[in-house]
Amino acid sequence: MTINITSRHADISDTLKTHAQAKLTTVLAAYPRVEYAHLIMDIQKFRQIVEVIVQGRHHLRVEAREESDDMYASLDRVIDKVNRQLRRWQDKVVDHKSGKHRLKLTDFEQQLTGST
């Protein structure tokens, strides 16, 4: 899995980059279909904006954006948001293939077909 970290309008410290990469790696390790993540940290006048774009196999694409006064707070919130979206996407895939939607034969229909 590749994680690309980009900063806009300012230089981001190495400690913040390693913190962001560590948090994103731990969250994305639970999802084997993820192949690429792009983390964008933007500093504007009074706002700290963090965007995450995650791409993977089978048309997986998740985007999240958060802004606040603190870069660490924005980072934590956006990673929680990405985790929630990935969990929802994975649950949809698992539920889709679980076979819950198959029709069950009633006792009368089983007697008619002769199967038990």
User: In the chain, where are the structural domains located?
Assistant: 2-113
Distance CA 4, CA 80 (A): 18
pLDDT in the model for residue 85 = 96
Beta strands at 2-8 and 34-43: parallel, antiparallel or unpaired = parallel
pLDDT at 115 over 80: no
pLDDT at 96 over 70: no
Q: At 81, is the pLDDT very low, low, confident or very high (cuts 50, 70, 90)?
A: very high
Confirm if 61 and 54 have CB atoms less than 8 A apart.
yes
pLDDT at 109 over 60: yes
pLDDT at 72 over 60: yes
| CATH architecture of the domain with range 2-113 | 2-Layer Sandwich (3.30)
pTM: 0.78
